[in-house]
């Protein structure tokens, strides 16, 4: 998304109003996207049959939709999606809180930042997915081990982006506050945090995507509930259509979460 700079003559004092209605060109691209989607879905429906691909390799779209709306499977989908969503939301909440508070602390205390940062980078370079089995040993097969994996994946982008946001604050803005005798607390709350919000939201978007990955992988490694478990079960019994159906549910969850964050961003960071 780009914010246009609109030049208005200073004498008229006219406010530039950005039109909310999509332009003709924008309508065309939307129509193009929809058309492409229809073509792809049609190909998905027709091609497996035409090429003689077995249904357990690539099921036709109609088979996937049947699996998705199967009334006997639906309650299972919903309750397991609830488990995965709980892991994601709790882990995300904790991870974002840690990332935000840690980022604020590290950005303000330079020495602490310099002491701690190499270790954070070191931890970040471990593929956290590979640590998941360890968390099963430590925290068991239930919710806590999954939440820990999600926290680990969610906190880092928020931490890094919070630090970047705060450290990137305009030197002049800090001088403005200092020249007017602002306290450190006032500088933090009235300047550093609001100024870092655009960057923090970028971290949040990454954290949401990471949380979904974390929850599913943790479920793959060892769990009794969750969409990851259902995917493994469907795979084990060669129900490929059900695997696709579960992937659709997962994608939908991801899209909803991402959209919510982006809506919140537009509301909160209205100036950027």
Partner 1 sequence: MSAVEPLIRIDHLEKVYPTSSGEIHALSDVSLSIADGEFVAIVGPSGCGKTTLLKILAGLETHTGGTATIAGAPISKPRGDVGMVFQKPVLLPWRTIGQNVLLPLELHRKVGRAEKAAAQNLLEMVGLGDFASKYPKELSGGMQQRAAICRALVHDPAVLLMDEPFGALDAMTRDLLNVEVNRIWRETSKTAVLITHSIPEAVFLAQRVIVMSPRPGRIIDVIDVPFGPTRTLDLLGSPEFADLNARIRSYFEVIA
> Does 185 interact with partner 1 (rule: CB under 8 A)?
no
Applying CB under 8 A, among 66, 177, 213, 247 the residue interacting with partner 1 is 177
Roughly what angle, to the nearest 10 degrees, separates helices 227-236 and 240-268?
Answer: 160
Residues 70-89 that bind partner 1 (CB under 8 A): none
Residue 266 interacts with partner 1 (CB under 8 A)? no
Q: What count of other Cβ atoms lies within 10 Å of the Cβ of residue 110?
A: 10
| Cβ atoms 132, 221 nearer than 8 A | yes
* Shortest CB 169 distance to partner 1, Å: 11
Distance from chain centroid for Cα 18: 28
Among 37, 41, 170, 251, binds partner 1 (CB under 8 A): 170
Phi, psi (degrees; rounded to nearest 5) at 194: -60, -40
For the chain, report the end-to-end CA distance as a whole number of angstroms.
10
Query: Which phi and psi angles does 2 have, rounded to 5°?
Result: -120, 140
Q: How many whole angstroms separate alpha carbon 36 and alpha carbon 33?
A: 5
Binding track, positions 187-206, relative to partner 1; x by CB under 8 A = ---xx--xx-x---------
**Residue nearer to partner 1 on the CB measure, 147 or 195:** 195
> Which of 2, 13, 51, 111 is the binder for partner 1 (CB under 8 A)?
13
Candidate list 181, 236, 237, 267; residue touching partner 1; CB under 8 A: 181
Between residues 88 and 169, which has the closer beta carbon with respect to partner 1? 169
Q: Which stretch binds partner 1 (CB under 8 A): 84-92, 154-162, 179-187, 227-235?
A: 179-187
Which CA distances in Å does 179 have to 182, 184, 253? Answer: 8, 13, 48
Residue 118 near partner 1 by CB under 8 A:
no
| CA nearest neighbour of 168 among 190, 189, 199 | 199
Count residues near partner 1 (CB under 8 A). Answer: 29
Give the footprint of partner 1 on this chain (CB under 8 A): 3, 7-10, 13, 15-16, 170, 172-173, 175-183, 186, 190-191, 194-195, 197, 270-272
């Amino acid at each position: 998304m780009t914010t246009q700079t609109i030049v208005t003559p200073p004498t008229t004092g006219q406010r530039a109003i950005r039109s909310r209605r999509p332009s003709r060109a924008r309508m065309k691209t939307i129509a193009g996207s929809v058309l492409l989607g229809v073509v792809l879905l049609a190909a998905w429906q027709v091609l497996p049959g035409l090429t003689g691909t077995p249904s357990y390799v690539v099921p036709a779209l109609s088979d996937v939709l049947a699996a998705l709306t199967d009334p006997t499977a639906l309650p299972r989908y919903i309750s397991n999606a609830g488990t995965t969503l709980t892991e994601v939301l709790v882990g995300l909440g904790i991870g974002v809180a840690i990332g935000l508070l840690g980022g604020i602390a590290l950005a303000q205390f330079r020495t602490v930042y310099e002491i701690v940062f190499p270790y954070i980078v070191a931890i970040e370079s471990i593929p956290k997915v590979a640590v998941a089995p360890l968390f099963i040993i430590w925290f068991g097969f239930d919710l806590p081990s999954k939440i820990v994996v999600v926290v680990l994946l969610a906190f880092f982008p928020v931490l890094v982006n919070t630090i970047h946001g705060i450290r990137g604050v305009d030197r002049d803005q800090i001088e403005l506050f200092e020249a007017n005798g602002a306290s450190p607390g006032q500088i933090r709350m009235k300047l550093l945090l609001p100024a870092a919000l655009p960057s923090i939201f970028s971290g949040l978007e990454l954290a949401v995507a990471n949380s979904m990955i974390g929850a599913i992988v943790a479920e793959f490694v060892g769990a009794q509930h969750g969409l990851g478990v259902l995917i493994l079960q469907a795979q084990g019994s060669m129900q490929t259509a059900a695997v696709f159906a579960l992937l659709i549910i997962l994608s939908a969850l991801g899209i909803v979460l991402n959209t919510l964050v982006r809506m919140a961003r537009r509301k909160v960071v209205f100036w950027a």
